[in-house]
Amino acid sequence: MHSSLYFTLTLCFATLLALAAPSSKSGIQKRSFIVKRVASPRLKARDGVEEMAKAFNKYNIPVPRDLKNAVEKRQLKKRQLAAANRVGKRSVSQRGPQRRDDMGGEQNVRLGLAASSSQRRSQLAHQRRDSMGGDQDVRLGLAASMGQRRSLHPRQDQDPAAEQTAATQQPAAEAQAGNQTQSKAQGGDQNGSVEATPEKNDAEYLAPVKIGGQELVLDFDTGSSDLWVFNTQLKNQQPQQPGLQTGGQSAQQSAQQAGQLEKAIDSHTLYNPQQSQTFKEVPGLQFKISYGDGSGAQGTVGMDIVEVGGVQAEQAVQLATSVTGSFLQDSKNNGLMGLAFSKINTVKPEKQKTFFESVMPSLQEPVFTADLRRNATGAYEFGTIDRSKFQGDMVFTPVNNSQGFWQFTSERFAVGDGQPQQATAGGQAIADTGTTLILADKNIVQGYYSQVQGAQNNKEVGGVTIPCNQQLPDLMLAVGDNMARVTGDQINFAPIEDGSAECFGGIQAVPPGTMGIYGDIFFKSNFVAFQGGSNGQGPSLGFAQHA
């Protein structure tokens, strides 16, 4: 009897163990399968390669072949992960065609994934030409001489007759509103500030803006002059399939692309002009911005009350009806606040003032400042210079705004506390909060990295890389007749891949004859003031070391 009872208990215990053991058909195994298909966070995160290519494309500078190849490899890997992710979802859910794919990266939203191998080859070939510079290298090549340097403007499709600036002619949007742009206060007493929050790797700094009382987070960009936003009109946008014939798309593919586009748009905060009591539609005005990588925005224009940190003005607001490329994928960014000069505003037939130009007469001081910090919240402030934010004296340099930028001479540099060295004579640069890296004269880049042990021109990533554990010297850059310090710790941008011992350098070279672009790497070392000019004085740029 005891043996029978022992046998029964043993059998029950074994049965319980078997039930507790994971089964190939268990939910745990299914969840594990899905997790393995999730796209790598490394590929979704921004890195130096993408940021460098983004800056080149922003200004339609021909993309070097090695950088072009590096970006294509990353995009190919994204597409492969997207395809594997869809296969995994279909095998698990049996609903593959109906599932939205949010792992496809920007190319899947803009282009979709071709159904056949022949379509896929056609798609990739077209993307290489349009998105990565290809044929544009000949079409958009820069003049070799400094005197013939072409503008760094995005392609605007602007008529020559429309080059008249908003500063010298009343914009049509303001005329439609019935008066010149009116600010909240006419006594010159406005000032205010907003926080500037960095995304991963300080790829961009985003700040809140109220338009018609609705708050959106925008990228403040001193390298452009358009205030354009994601808005409810985008609900009518149709998927675009560059390089593919619409007739070759199956209904299933079209539905998938429409779903991806809808999801990308819904991930943004949308401004709704119909919910604004102060919005005024302005018929006849339109804008179109396109960059070298195929991304861009276009749409209509209206007037509304725009407020930044309590500073407000009635302002032209560009309402995108179509947005493509990386703008769609950056769900935290709901548009651009351009803070350069209206000469490069893309609204047709008449250019519009920037927000700073609109509020400048009503500010305590005709100035705004950029206080950007590494991996920390900074601020943009209008109407005053907070002297507690910097140390020592702030020095100012006259700005040449003839091309629409905060442009200055930069023809000298020094490494650490060494003697100043000559870069290209007459070299020019612009201050651009909308660019992540510093893109500088080749002589500056070569002279700096020659003093960094282990630095190399890495063809695999299309730029200079450095050992991540290398202590870097400071770099001194000429801003007019003054020298600005960029601390070495800011120049070590980020690993080229997660876990890599090689890091992408925060300073990279531009082609000969191209103006330098001093982006956020520069700003993270310096408190910068953008002085609009007054009392007969032109605009100027001030800087000092962070406090």
Active site residue: 47, 202, 219, 221, which one?
Answer: 221
Q: Is 221 a residue of the active site? A: yes
SS3 423: coil
Q: Which residues contact 170 (CB under 8 A, 6 or more apart)?
A: 180
Residue 195 belongs to what H/E stretch? strand 192-198
Residues for the chain: how many in total?
547
How far apart are the C-alpha atoms of 158 and 347, rounded to whole Å? 8
Looking at 1-80, which runs of residues are DSSP E strands?
Answer: none
Q: Which two tokens mark 382? A: 């209008």
How far apart are the C-alpha atoms of 126 and 132, rounded to whole Å? 10
Residue 261 contacts residue 239 (beta carbons within 8 Å): yes
User: How far does CA 86 lie from the centroid of its chain?
Assistant: 28
Active site residue: 202, 219, 432, 474, which one?
Answer: 432
CA atoms within 13 A on the CB side of 409: 11
Q: Which two tokens mark 214? A: 């609705």
Helices of type H across 267-333: 326-329
Phi and psi (nearest 5°) for 47? -140, 180
* DSSP string computed for 424-488: STT-EEEE-TT-SSEEE-HHHHHHHHTTSTT-EEETTTTEEEEETTPPPPPEEEEETTEEEEE-H
Residue 480 contacts residue 521 (beta carbons within 8 Å): no
> Distance of CA 372 to CAs 82, 134, 342, 369, 521, Å?
35, 35, 24, 10, 9
Residue recorded with tokens 């640069």: 429
How far apart are the C-alpha atoms of 125 and 111, rounded to whole Å? 12
> Distance of CA 33 to CAs 27, 44, 90, 141, Å?
10, 20, 12, 48
CB atoms within 10 A of CB 530: 23
- DSSP letter for 255, please: H
Q: Residue 402 corresponds to which amino acid? A: S
> Distance of CA 325 to CAs 48, 148, 258, 444, 546, Å?
18, 31, 15, 32, 35
How far apart are the C-alpha atoms of 267 and 275, rounded to whole Å? 20
How far apart are the C-alpha atoms of 311 and 360, rounded to whole Å? 10
How far apart are the C-alpha atoms of 227 and 232, rounded to whole Å? 16
Q: Is 226 a residue of the active site? A: no
How far apart are the C-alpha atoms of 507 and 48, rounded to whole Å? 10
> Looking at the annotation, which residues are catalytic?
221, 432
